[in-house]
Structures are given as structure tokens and as C-alpha cells.
């Protein structure tokens, strides 16, 4: 099989190496999956630069946490899947459900835990889920990190309900899934972006209110105005350092902020700046149970992941480079 590898000492996506390796063989309670698609997340850029908090790569590592494909063989003791099943990987290894308590838990595609940018991968049967019949492999490959993160932030941790107002920052994968989940729940959605063109596309997906944060740098005040001074019930906070202070100001009393990834600093604003009864949760993607719950909602509501562009497997490095331009809307996929 062919697979891409991050080598020790890599300095960026251009250093990824495509190599031929022996086909893997599933062992006890493992499944062998032929990949048909992978999607990229921002963390994949960080890992390729050898700068992830998990540490530097000391051995060859297959990148990318998110992929979908077909089960082509099963090992002894497998009960959750059969040959021919369509599956996607989970992001965190061994997290079937419950509270994310045993931190740090290995996450796929980082040093010490091979990822999905390969023609064949072996997965524990506990670290995979069936994908909705309504989705293509390319669409399903967009789910494990971005979609589950948005679902956990809004539904699991945020307890989103009908009639709430939700703010999403930017138009990347997490934000567009948050928009779709919020609209399916019956919420009002405010989207921020630096691009009027991207805001128009978000409007076409159902966004109710749009704010260009370049032309309106004090977007928290704009949010307050749009909500009659009340603020929003939910914020999907992905902006990183510099946006959390405004998120506090834009939040309604009793509201919830889901802090995504490792870009935003929770110490940036002292806790007293939080509105009364407000909650801030750092979101660690989600469990397999979250993923399976989300998949049922996706199927029931006919939600389709937003894919900006797809690249063939042989052009995976081009996909990484395209992501660096930060011009994409939704997800970037790599197909096999």
C-alpha cells in the first residue's frame, strides 16, 4: 500500500513523503479499511510543521485524523463490523463515551498514533463508526473532527435548544457544521467572517445575520445590537487569541462558549468578565457515542457536509498548501 509519512525533523507539508509499505493485517478485534477519502483540519498543518503540543515526531507517522472507507477484512473477535461496511475513523483512540477524563488520550494522526492518509489502515473496532448511507465517502471523511467538535460544543456541552441564538466564527469546517446543526435545531445563527463573499455563501446555507469583522472590528457590539442588547446563547469560539474577550462581551447571561482547539487562551480575560451564569468549556472533539448520535441527526435532517475542494491522493501536498491560503469555505478533502 501507499501512505504519506511525517518524518522526524519535518518542517512543513512539503516534507511529507509518499512511500510504499507492506499491506497491514488486522489482528484481534481490528478491522482493515480501504480508504476512499480523507479531510484536512488545521491541526494537520501544525503536526506537519512538527509543532503539535503532543510533541515532535520521533518515528515515521501517517498524518490526518479524518478518513472514511470500506471494511475489506476483519480480525478475530470483531463483532461491531463486517466486510463491506462503510466506516469512518474516530478522532480520539479508545474514547467510546462518557467524560473525557484520561487526558492526554492519543489522537489519530499525531506523533505516536498513525492517521488516515494511506490507502489501507487498520483500526480497532472500538475506534470506528458506520457512516450514514446518505453520505458519500468524501462527505463522511469530513465528520470525525470538525463535525463532532461542532456537535459536542453545541449539543453535548452547550445543550442547544430550539429558539436559541448561536454565533459561529469564520467559515471553516467546524463553523459550517455548527451553522447546519443550529439551523436543523431551529436556532437563529450569526456568522462572522473577514470575507463578504464567504458571508454570502453562509447566508445561502441558512445564516440569519452576517458580520464582517474586518469592517466591523467591534463585532461584539454588533452582536449586542442584533440581539436587542441580550447577547447570544451559544458561541463556537475558534478565533484564537484576540477573540475571546469579544466572545465574553457578546454572550448572554447564562450563555455557553465552546472553546475549540488550542488557539484561544482561556487566561486572556479574567473569569469575572464572563456574564452571570455563563459557561466556558474547552472542547476536545468528542467520543464515539457523540459521533454516533451526530450521525443519526445528520441522516434525519439530510445534512450534507460543505466541501470547498477535493484533491486526488497523489496531490495531497497540494491540498495542504491550498489550506494554507485560508481561502476555503468548509472542508478540504483528499480522495482515493
Q: Which residues pair with 19 in a beta bridge?
A: 3
Query: What is the CATH superfamily name and number for domain 148-283?
Result: NAD(P)-binding Rossmann-like Domain (3.40.50.720)
Q: What angle do CA 78, 83, 86 make, to 5 degrees?
A: 100
The single residue listed with the C-alpha cell 482493515 is: 32
Element (H, E) at 320: helix 316-324
**Interatomic CA distance for residues 19 and 5, integer angstroms:** 8
CB 120 within 8 A of CB 206: no
Measured in whole angstroms, the distance separating CA 213 from the mean position of its chain's CA atoms is 23
Q: Give me the pLDDT at residue 163, please.
A: 98
Beta-carbon contacts of residue 319 (< 8 Å; ≥ 6 apart): 40, 309, 311, 332, 333, 334
Architecture of the CATH domain 2-142+305-335: Alpha-Beta Complex (3.90)
**Interatomic CA distance for residues 77 and 248, integer angstroms:** 50
Helix, strand, or coil here: 12?
coil
Mean pLDDT (10-residue bins), the chain, 336 residues: 94 95 98 98 90 76 97 98 98 89 73 94 98 98 98 97 98 97 98 97 98 97 98 91 88 96 57 81 93 98 98 98 94 98
CATH 3.90.180.10 intervals, the chain? 2-142+305-335
Torsion of CA 310, 121, 129, 35, to 10 degrees: 30
Dig out the grid coordinates for 277 from the structure: 451564569
Dig out the grid coordinates for 324 from the structure: 494554507
CATH 3.40.50.720 intervals, the chain? 148-283
C-alpha distances out from residue 208 to 177, 181, 226, 232, 236, Å: 15, 14, 10, 13, 16
186 DSSP assignment = T
**Interatomic CA distance for residues 312 and 38, integer angstroms:** 10
Amino acid at each position: 500500500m501507499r501512505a504519506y509519512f511525517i518524518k522526524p525533523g519535518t518542517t512543513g507539508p512539503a516534507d511529507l513523503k509518499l512511500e510504499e509499505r507492506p499491506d497491514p493485517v488486522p489482528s484481534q478485534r481490528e478491522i482493515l479499511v480501504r480508504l476512499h477519502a480523507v479531510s484536512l483540519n488545521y491541526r494537520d498543518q501544525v503536526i506537519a510543521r512538527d509543532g503539535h503540543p503532543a510533541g515532535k515526531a520521533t518515528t515515521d507517522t501517517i498524518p490526518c485524523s479524518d478518513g472514511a472507507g470500506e471494511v475489506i477484512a476483519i480480525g478475530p473477535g470483531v463483532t461491531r463490523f463486517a466486510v463491506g461496511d462503510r466506516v469512518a475513523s474516530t478522532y480520539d483512540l479508545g474514547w467510546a463515551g462518557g467524560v473525557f477524563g484520561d487526558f492526554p488520550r492519543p489522537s489519530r494522526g499525531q506523533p505516536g498514533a498513525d492517521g488516515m492518509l494511506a490507502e489501507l489502515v487498520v483500526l480497532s473496532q472500538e475506534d470506528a463508526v458506520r457512516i450514514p448511507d446518505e453520505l458519500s465517502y468524501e462527505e463522511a471523511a469530513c465528520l470525525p473532527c470538525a463535525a463532532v467538535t461542532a456537535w459536542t460544543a453545541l449539543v453535548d456541552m452547550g445543550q442547544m435548544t430550539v429558539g436559541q441564538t448561536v454565533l459561529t466564527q469564520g467559515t471553516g469546517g467546524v463553523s459550517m457544521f455548527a451553522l447546519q446543526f443550529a439551523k436543523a435545531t431551529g436556532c437563529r445563527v450569526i456568522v462572522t467572517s473577514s470575507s463578504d463573499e464567504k458571508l454570502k455563501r453562509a447566508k445561502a446555507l441558512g445564516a440569519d445575520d452576517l458580520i464582517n469583522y474586518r469592517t466591523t472590528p467591534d463585532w461584539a457590539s454588533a452582536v449586542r445590537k442584533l440581539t436587542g442588547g441580550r447577547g447570544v446563547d451559544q458561541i463556537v469560539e475558534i478565533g484564537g487569541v484576540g477573540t475571546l474577550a469579544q466572545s465574553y462581551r457578546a454572550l448572554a447571561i447564562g450563555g455557553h462558549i465552546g472553546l475549540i482547539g488550542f488557539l484561544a487562551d482561556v487566561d486572556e480575560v479574567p473569569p469575572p468578565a464572563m456574564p452571570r451564569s455563563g459557561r466556558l468549556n474547552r472542547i476536545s472533539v468528542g467520543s464515539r457515542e457523540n459521533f454516533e448520535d451526530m450521525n443519526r441527526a445528520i441522516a434525519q435532517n439530510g445534512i450534507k457536509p460543505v466541501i470547498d475542494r477535493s484533491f486526488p491522493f497523489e496531490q495531497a501536498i497540494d491540498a495542504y498548501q491550498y489550506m494554507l491560503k485560508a481561502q476555503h469555505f468548509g472542508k478540504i478533502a483528499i480522495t482515493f
